[in-house]
Amino acid sequence: MEIFSLINQWINLLFIIIFTLLSISSKPATLALRSNENDMLALLPLKDQLVGDSHGVLTSWNASFHCCQWQGVQCGRRHRRVVSLNMSGLSLAGFISPVIGNLTFLREVDFSYNKLQGSIPREVGHLRRLVYLSLEYNHLNGEIPQELSNCSNLQEIAFNANNITGEIPVSLGDMKNLIELHLAGNLLIRGIPASLGNISTLKVLSLEQKKLKGTIPSSLGKLSNLEHMYIGTNKLSGSVPPVHNFSSLLVLDAADNQLSGNLPPEIGCTFPNLEAIFIGLNQLTGEIPRSISNISSLELFEISLNGFTGSVPENMGNLRNLLDLTISGNYLGSGKPEDLSFLSSLSNCSRLQSLAINYNHFYGVIPDSIANFSIWLEHLWMGDNQIIGRIPQGIGNLINLDLMEMEGTFIAGEIYISIGNLQNLEGLYLGFNHLSGKIPSSIGNLSRLSDLDLSNNKFAGAIPLALKQCTNLQKLDLSTNNLNGSIPYQLFGVFERLIYLNLSHNSFTGSLPSDMRNMKNLVEFYNLQLFMQKNSFHGTIPQSFASLRSLENLDLSNNNLSGTIPPELQKLPFLVRLNLSFNQLEDTYSALLSDLRLLSLLLAWFSAKALNLRKKSVASDFCFKKVTQQNLVQSSMNKAKYLQPFSELVFIGPQMSLPKCFSEKPKEKGKVLSTKTIIAIIISILLGSILVVLLFYHSLRHKARRGTFMPSSLFDNGCLRLSYKELLECTHGFASSNLIGTGSFGFVYKGVLYQHEKPVAVKVLNLRNHRAARSFIAECKALRKIRHRNLVKIITSCSSIDYQGIEFKALVFEFMPNGSLESWLHEQHDQSRYLNFAQRLDIAIDMANAIDYLQHGCGTMVVHCDLKPSNVLLDDDMVAHVADFGLAKLFSSGIKGTTGYVAPEYGMSGSVSPEGDIYSYGIMLLEMITGRRPTCDLFHHGLSLHNFCKIALQEGLKEIFDVRLVEEIGVNRKRIRNKPNMEAEIWECFVSFTKIGVSCSTEVATDRLRIRDAIIELHAMKARLLRT
């Protein structure tokens, strides 16, 4: 019995234990279930803030599925809590909801490559387990939340390519586990916080912003684990701080800043493992430290466009892994023969692919040891130095060379035939030297050659017939030599890709080539330039010139040509410059001059004396007139930029908008007034004027006392109030010297509000439309509520009368010191005003952001109706601001917009739409990438800027791009070649930019690219540029 009793006790105890365990285990399960439900309740509001789910990812986010099965959501295996959100690259728009802070088990969040807007929610700081946070390549704005530093486990932050503003939070220095910090491509200001030096785990620091100022904090020297530091493209100043513990650093990019001083002499010991140094485009001085040669791992060394002096260390050859050495644009060299001795040591750099030493003060002879350079050398830039002697014969050993530039030196003698061994050569630039002898026929072996420049030398003899084997030639410049003989007619039968031919300033004889039919296919939508002036050509101008449809510039002046001008020349659609002066050409010009566009060109180049024009050969409806350049500038000619100063009689046609040519008639006797009569008349007029002014002034004072015309500011609530008098004073009486712009809405003056010491732009409205007066105050109140960083800020307005009793209305805006986009794209007299592609891309993004805000972000949609480059203004930092938004409502009569930019549907229906603004935006993009106005004379007879670019894209033509952008690639090729495929990537960005412009400017409004999609594509393009 006792045994049975004992067994029963054990059984009861076992039941109690099992029951207890089951009770305990059920509580976590219940808790987990509730927590999981909380995650789902957080995800659903997050979904509600996301739009544009073109991939259908969010369709799975519903109660029919467990949230751990939702696409992009990952849960932990043990507790089934959401640990990862991966929504990258789904084209999602909308906002990141603050409820994300309730997903407290999150370890990874990736919303990169979307279209998200708004700010980063502060609630992200609740995610204490977060390890990875990527929001790069979106449209996020606002500041980086300080609460982010609460995420103490974060290892990587990627906020690249957004519109984030404010300062880099000092609190980021408290994140002790951070490994990578990517903040490039935003709008952050001020400086680099010294606290970042406290993140001892940091390996990657990317801060390329354009706006960061101040010095490089010395505390960054404490980052002993740092491998990649990108702080280029900012406004950092001061010297490079001394660093003693950067042994892990692999890449240092501080290019394009304002750094000054010398490089630390111990740099080669401090950075022993560096693979790439980019410190070009700064203000660094002193000598290149000899310790550089200690960095045996160095592959890329780029210090161009600084102020370095002295000699290049002769032990540079110790850098056996060197791929690129770019020291261009400095003051290196001492004017002594040993300046170029360092080149001999580079023969030890067996991997060298690019060498750029151009634009320095090097003197001496190119050593023969250049023949022993790396067989992989592709680019050789040595021009604009004081190099003497001959080009070494051994240059032919560099068989992989595709670009060789030695322009602007003192190289003399003949070119060795070994040049023909460089069969991969695409660009050969030897202009502005002292080369002599004959052009070697071995150049015909260079079948891949596209650019050949032998200009401004002393070459003699004929053009070698072997040159016809270079069938890929696009640019051939043999000008200013001593070449003679006739031009081989065979040449013009093979150069189907030729777009630039300059044979001027030689001694060529014979007739002009008569068969150019094979040249008419040359890049139909690019400009062909033909220069043959200052030779001894005779005979007539061949009719075949009229078959060159892409001909833009033809100069045959200063030859012995005779006969008539082929009338077919006026049919060339792209011809904008024509110079046939100083020949023996005669006969009638009426047919040729009947075309207005061509006539304006003739004015620029022809004088009556030079052409031997005779009145008997001129049509009766034309006349001679003395014309100065000032007359032409004041006329409506849109070709004034081509005009040259001249003083001879010129040929004027009836369509020129110039004053008519009145013949002088003899004065009739008896009609001359006496001196006394004239004086009496003048005194009477003066007395009458004074009386009228006094009466008018009395009337104004009477009305002012009655309060009829009291000046009023339209904004209240403490906003700045300005009277007509104050605006008159701040613009110096609306002086013409203060006039900075005109347009359909009125005149814009620069002024300074002295009591505030603030420069402003005052737009005095043109009140021809009476409706404007009635709606002015109401509309301007609405405009003042519109605020965006890419819109010009309206400060206040004035509605009053002027001193003549005329109604006066003006808007006062922020002043934009860098003027309009129009002036930067087309201002010819100031060559320093140039926008590189990165700047144009940023401006395009700024404009798109402004349009997106007007259409979607400011409550009531605003259609601009007059988007054009002159309405895009640039501030101190070259940030674009759209002006004149909303003013179309004040001027409601007529078709809105400006010719060339107005959407085609406006001319049919007259009703405006947001798609019309997108059309204008697309045209502006095409104008920015091609450098051509939509109203350019090139575009007529059905050819528009849109069609021009669309056809060029289909044909794969690069020649449509703004020549300054193309030159930028050429000038910076020394940097481009530092990275494989970088040049191709930039060309692809040009093409992508053009595609966006074409997609935005399609004729059918519904087919146009949405502005938010354009923004995404532009940001992706910017990201590609940053990666290169």
Determine contact, residues 407/384, Cβ cutoff 8 Å.
yes
Q: What is the pLDDT of residues 714-726, one digit of tens each?
A: 333 445 677 788 8
Q: In this structure, are residues 939 and 948 in contact, taking their beta carbons and an 8 Å threshold?
A: yes
Give the separation between CA 148 and CA 677, rounded to whole angstroms: 88
Specify the 3-state DSSP secondary structure of 555: strand
Strands 50-51 and 93-95: antiparallel
Cα 637–chain centre separation: 28
The helix or strand, by DSSP H or E, that contains position 653, with its residue range, turns out to be none
Long-range residue pairs from 424-429, CB within 8 A, at least 24 positions apart, any chain: 424/399, 424/400, 424/448, 425/401, 425/449, 426/402, 426/450, 426/451, 427/402, 427/403, 427/451, 428/404, 428/452, 428/453, 429/383, 429/404, 429/405, 429/453
Q: What is the model's pLDDT at position 889?
A: 53
Identity of residue 906: Y
pLDDT at 316 over 90: yes
Predicted local distance difference test score (pLDDT) of residue 62:
87
The CATH number of the structural domain formed by 819-1028 is 1.10.510.10
pLDDT at 973: 57
pLDDT at 639: 34
Q: DSSP characters for 372-400?
A: GS-TT--EEE--SSEEES---GGGGG-TT
3-state secondary structure 244-284: CCCCCCCEEECCCCEEEEECCCCHHHHCCCCCEEECCCCEE
DSSP reduced 3-state for 359: coil
- Residue 18 pLDDT greater than 50, yes or no: yes
| Geometric angle at alpha carbon 17, from 11 and 20, rounded to 5° | 140
Sign of CA dihedral 613, 615, 619, 623: positive
Summarize the confidence of residues 501-524 as an average pLDDT: 76
The gap from C-alpha 790 to its chain's centroid, in whole angstroms, comes to 17
pLDDT score of 928: 93
Radius of gyration for the alpha carbons in the chain, expressed in angstroms and rounded? 36
Least confident of 203-217, 394-408, 411-425, 794-808: 794-808
Angle between helices 963-971 and 982-1000 (to 10 degrees): 160
> How far, in Å, CA of 160 to CA of 142, rounded?
14
Asked if the model's pLDDT at residue 171 lies above 70, the reply is yes
Is residue 112 a contact partner of residue 138, using CB atoms and an 8 Å limit? yes
How many C-beta atoms surround the C-beta of residue 705 within 10 A? 8
pLDDT tens track for 470-507: 988 989 999 999 999 998 877 776 787 888 899 999 99
Looking at the DSSP assignment, which residues form a beta bridge with residue 763?
748, 811
More confident call, 86 vs 906: 86
Distance CA 422, CA 413 (A): 19
Q: Judging by beta carbons within 10 Å of its beta carbon (0-12, 13-18, 19+), is residue 473 exposed, middle or buried?
A: buried
What phi and psi, each to the nearest 5 degrees, are found at residue 230?
-115, 100
**According to the model, what pLDDT value does residue 686 have?**
65
- DSSP assignments along 265-334, one per residue: TTHHHHSTT--EEE--SSEEEEPPPGGGGG-TT--EEE--SSEEEEPPPGGGGG-TT--EEE--SSEE--
Mean pLDDT comparison of 17-26, 310-319, 755-764, highest-scoring range: 310-319
pLDDT in tens, 608-647: 333 433 333 333 333 333 333 333 333 333 333 333 333 3
Going by C-alpha positions, the residue among 587, 544, 537 that lies closest to residue 569 is 544
End-to-end CA distance of the chain: 90
| Span of 339-348, 426-435, 608-617, 854-863 with lowest mean pLDDT | 608-617
pLDDT digits (tens, 9 = 90+) for 348-368: 999 999 999 999 999 999 999
Q: What average pLDDT does range 139-166 have in this prediction? A: 94
Q: What is the pLDDT of residue 599?
A: 41
**The pLDDT value given to residue 955:** 72
Q: For the chain, what percent of residues have pLDDT higher than 70?
A: 75
The CATH 1.10.510.10 portion of the chain extends over 819-1028
Q: Decide which of 944 and 860 is more confident.
A: 944
Angle, CA 993 vertex, CA 863 and CA 113 arms, to 5°: 85
d(CA 613, CA 606): 10
Residues 6+ apart with CB under 8 A from 680: none
pLDDT of residue 604: 39
Number of Cβ within 10 Å of residue 375's Cβ equals 12
Distances (CA, A) of 475 to 70, 325, 529, 984: 59, 28, 9, 20
* Superfamily grouping for domain 706-815: Phosphorylase Kinase; domain 1 (3.30.200.20)
What pLDDT score was predicted for residue 427? 93
- Annotated catalytic residues are 866
Read off the pLDDT of each residue in 956-966 and give the average, rounded to a whole number.
80
368's tokens: 């023969």
Q: Looking at the predicted structure, is the pLDDT value of residue 291 above 70?
A: yes
Provide the token pair at 242.
């001394």
Query: What separation in angstroms does the CA of 123 have from each of 50, 94, 127?
Result: 17, 17, 8
Q: Where in the chain is the domain with CATH 3.30.200.20?
A: 706-815
Res 648 pLDDT > 80: no
Dihedral of CA 118/120/123/129: which sign?
positive
pLDDT, tens only, 936-948:
877 776 788 898 8
Residue 857 pLDDT exceeds 90: no
User: Which of 52-56, 286-290, 337-341 has the least mean pLDDT?
Assistant: 52-56
For the chain, where do the domains classified as CATH 3.80.10.10 start and end? 2-165
pLDDT at residue 773 greater than cutoff 80: no
DSSP annotation of 636: S
Categorize the per-residue pLDDT at 707 as very low, low, confident or very high, splitting at 50, 70 and 90. Answer: very low
For 2-165, CATH gives 3.80.10.10
Residue 758 labeled ligand binder: no
Which residues does 402 contact at the CB level (< 8 Å), separation at least 6? Answer: 378, 379, 424, 425, 426, 427, 448
Kindly report the number of other CB atoms within 10 A of residue 15's CB atom. 10
What pLDDT does residue 776 have? 60
Average pLDDT over residues 280-303: 93
What confidence score (pLDDT) does residue 783 get? 64
Cα 567 from Cα 558, distance rounded (Å): 20
What letter represents residue 181's amino acid? L
The DSSP code for 584 is E
Residue 241 has pLDDT above 60, yes or no: yes
pLDDT, tens only, 875-903: 888 899 998 775 555 444 444 678 888 88
- Check residue 124 and give its pLDDT: 95
Mean pLDDT of 125-151: 94
pLDDT exceeds cutoff 90 at 446: yes
Report how far residue 572's alpha carbon sits from residue 566's, in angstroms, rounded to the nearest whole number.
11
Please check the confidence at residue 38 and state whether its pLDDT lies above 60: yes
Q: Is the pLDDT of residue 910 over 80?
A: no
pLDDT greater than 50 at residue 523: no
Q: Tell me which residue of 306, 230, 937 sits closest to 595, measured CA to CA.
A: 937
Determine which of 8-12, 182-186, 766-770 has the lowest per-residue pLDDT on average.
766-770
CB of 57 within 8 A of CB of 87?
yes
pLDDT, residue 522, reads: 45
**Token pair for residue 334?**
């001492």
Please say whether the dihedral angle defined by the alpha carbons of residues 766, 770, 774 and 779, taken in this order, is positive or negative. Answer: negative
The pLDDT value recorded for residue 632 is 36
Q: What pLDDT shows up at residue 1?
A: 53
How many whole angstroms separate alpha carbon 999 and alpha carbon 1014? 9
